[in-house]
């Protein structure tokens, strides 16, 4: 048999431990259900392992073309994960790199955030103290070559893989700097880049502190502590923790953050799984860093998941703060990591987590069998907070105060989609010596209007899609078949009359939208959002990502509502009052 012995060893390394675990449990004997893997006993497991080895051997020997046996085995493992929940995965390559970056809090690179702007690879922001920052790469710089490879048409994934690399190795970037109208070359030595997932914190004039957390990685709790200490030294009167768009990360960091905000000895979380070590009860262990009467609000949205939901759910269950925003994602599962070798990892769901009230917030079961949600999606399950408020289980965290972020007008969405704000800022700021804090004057606004004359912005005004559907519907009414055996001439006359009627019906609408498009830049509802877009991207170029986040809060309705609640302590306490809360969740106008 020609099967490579190393492949056989790898197969056995991966699958035999699974066989041993099943044997210990006496086999999985639950009834068969849709998408469910069932082995009736350990002997069946052994038979299937032998079947897998035989199948691999046959394909390796007999397939018409040569095959990559390693890739076949990887595909087999990935296939084994498919009937399970979507968070149980086989990770290799870039997916494992992202996990490693989360667990270690660093990676080998030059320290820049990049994106595609108008089909061009563009630097959004260099990280402070990184090789890119030190050597003078700016926000808005356009990367046209990475070493000897042109970036035209390159994907973000491909660009990132070329820029990252071994510590101490060198990468050459050729960039075009719009403000200077010339190419520059940077020779950058890759270094350990520390990931900053607490990108901004600050206190406003009213004493309200704000901390944004974008991910729960190795350094997040440590950076949160630094932020909390800094804000406390500035005598903050309330704290906003922004978890919007935060998809989660390391459970341990979420618990460490809660430990800094809650009384010692309180239960923060329970996890339950099939094996003993998955069953844990996590309590707060330290004296909190801030007074426990300090009012707190946590901002969440549909993209807040996993560890973000743990923080929000625990704060809510302990009546430690007010949750504001929209309902969260609904992931109540915990994953454990098992390294198979240096380049591959298994991420396996090993437990469910329960907040202090006993809630499991997992959304509707992916397997359609009720196992992952404990049936919470099938009924209106209510739980009670520490102070007696009723909260729901299943389907995510429901905010105490529900409010949606204001939606940008279509024209402004088009400007952001095209990357126009940063393109303008990268050119305008250096040439005009703009300094922080950025104020959008009438001159800047007028200059931006002139700048836009060279660009065509793609967007749809309200009703334009319906107009298109109307035109299609009217066209379909011109049916030549209804003319029966009429002559070709009579058919043409009918078509011409119908076409004229059709054009008259839609011509006025077309002129209306043409006029509306011509005035979008000075439309009152657009002006404040255009100015905010300019202020954000010009602040980014002038002073970096922290300043961009700070000014973005000026037109953030959810943040402003949280700030107002924290400044009105009576209102804050009323929201946490069971008598007021148990009737219904508060809903605020958008």
Q: Which helix (H) or strand (E) holds 113?
A: strand 112-117
| Interatomic CA distance for residues 323 and 391, integer angstroms | 12
Output DSSP code: residue 151.
Answer: -
What is the dihedral angle through the alpha carbons of 399, 400, 405, 406, rounded to the nearest 10 degrees? 140
- Tell me the C-alpha to C-alpha distance, in Å, between residue 146 and each of 149, 173, 394, 436, 455: 5, 5, 47, 32, 27
Q: How many residues does the chain have?
A: 590
CB 237 within 8 A of CB 290: no
User: Which of 85, 223, 259, 317 does the annotation list as catalytic?
Assistant: 317
Q: What is the dihedral angle through the alpha carbons of 226, 557, 582, 566, rounded to the nearest 10 degrees?
A: 50
Supply φ then ψ for residue 331, to 5 degrees.
-120, 105
The token duo for 262 is: 């809650």
Which of 217, 306, 357, 552 is catalytic? The answer is 306
H-assigned helices in 63-187: 69-81, 94-104, 131-135, 156-163
Q: What is the four-CA torsion angle of 443, 448, 450, 455, rounded to 10 degrees? A: 180
Catalytic (active site) residue 417: no
Contact, 162 vs 144, CB < 8 A?
no
C-alpha–C-alpha distance, residues 414 and 203, integer Å: 32
Catalytic residue among 331, 347, 352, 531: 331
Nearest 10 degrees: CA dihedral of 123, 124, 127, 129? 50
Nearest alpha carbon to residue 551 among 440, 410, 426, 427:
440
Catalytic residue flag (residue 317) = yes
Q: With contact defined as beta carbons under 8 Å apart, do 114 and 122 qualify?
A: yes
DSSP letter assigned to residue 249: B
Beta strand spans in 243-343 (E): 267-272, 280-283, 296-300, 322-325, 333-339
Compute the distance between CA of residue 359 and CA of residue 269 in angstroms, rounded to an integer.
10
Q: What residues act catalytically? A: 306, 317, 331
């Amino acid at each position: 048999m020609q099967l490579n012995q190393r492949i056989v060893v790898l197969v056995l390394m991966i699958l035999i431990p699974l066989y041993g675990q099943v044997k210990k449990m006496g086999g999985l004997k639950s009834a068969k259900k849709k998408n469910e893997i069932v082995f009736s006993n350990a002997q069946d497991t052994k038979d299937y392992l032998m079947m897998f080895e035989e199948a691999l051997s046959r394909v390796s020997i007999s397939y018409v073309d040569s095959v990559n046996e390693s890739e076949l085995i990887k595909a087999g493992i990935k296939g084994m994960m498919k009937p399970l929940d979507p968070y149980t995965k086989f990770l290799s390559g870039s997916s494992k790199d992202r996990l490693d970056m989360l667990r270690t809090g660093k990676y080998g690179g030059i320290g820049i955030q990049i994106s595609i702007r108008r089909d061009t690879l563009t630097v959004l922001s260099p990280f402070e103290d990184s090789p890119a920052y030190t050597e003078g790469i700016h926000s808005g710089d356009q990367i046209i070559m990475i070493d000897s490879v042109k970036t035209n048409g390159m994907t973000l994934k491909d660009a990132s893989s070329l820029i990252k690399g071994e510590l101490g190795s060198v990468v050459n970037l050729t960039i075009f700097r719009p403000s200077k109208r010339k190419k520059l070359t940077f020779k950058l030595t890759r270094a350990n880049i520390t990931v900053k997932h607490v990108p901004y914190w600050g206190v406003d004039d009213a004493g309200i502190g704000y901390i944004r957390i974008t991910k729960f990685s190795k350094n997040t709790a440590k950076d949160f502590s630094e932020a909390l200490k800094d804000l406390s030294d500035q005598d903050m009167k309330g704290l906003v923790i922004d978890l919007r768009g935060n998809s989660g990360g390391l459970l341990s960091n979420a618990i460490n953050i809660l430990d800094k905000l809650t009384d010692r000895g309180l239960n923060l979380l329970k996890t339950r799984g099939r094996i003993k070590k998955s069953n844990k009860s996590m309590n707060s262990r330290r004296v909190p860093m801030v007074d426990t009467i300090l009012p707190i609000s946590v901002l969440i949205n549909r993209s807040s998941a996993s560890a973000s939901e743990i923080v929000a759910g625990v704060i809510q269950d302990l009546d430690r703060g007010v949750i504001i925003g929209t309902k969260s994602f609904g992931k109540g599962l915990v994953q454990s990591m098992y390294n198979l070798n240096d380049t591959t990892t298994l991420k396996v769901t090993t437990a469910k987590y329960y907040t202090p009230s006993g809630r499991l917030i997992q959304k509707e079961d992916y397997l359609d069998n009720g196992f992952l949600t404990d049936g919470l999606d099938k009924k209106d399950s209510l739980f009670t907070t520490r102070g007696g408020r009723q909260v729901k289980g299943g389907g995510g965290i429901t905010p105490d105060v529900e409010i949606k972020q204001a939606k940008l007008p279509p024209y402004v969405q088009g400007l952001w989609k095209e990357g126009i704000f940063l393109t303008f800022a990268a050119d305008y700021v250096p040439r005009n010596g703009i300094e922080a804090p950025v104020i959008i004057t009438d001159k800047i606004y007028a200059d931006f209007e002139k700048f836009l004359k060279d660009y065509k912005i793609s967007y749809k005004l309200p009703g334009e899609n319906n107009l298109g559907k109307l035109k299609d519907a009217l066209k379909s009414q011109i049916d030549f078949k209804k003319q029966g055996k009429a002559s070709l001439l009579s058919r043409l006359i009918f078509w011409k009359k119908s076409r004229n009627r059709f054009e008259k019906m839609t011509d006025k609408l077309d002129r209306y939208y043409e006029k509306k498009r011509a005035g979008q830049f000075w439309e009152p509802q657009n002006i404040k959002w255009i100015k905010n877009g300019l202020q954000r991207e010009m602040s980014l170029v002038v002073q970096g990502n922290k300043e961009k986040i700070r000014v973005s809060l000026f037109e953030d309705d959810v943040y402003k509502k949280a700030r107002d609640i924290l400044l009105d302590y009576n209102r804050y306490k009323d929201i946490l009052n069971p008598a007021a809360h148990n009737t219904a969740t508060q809903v605020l106008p958008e």
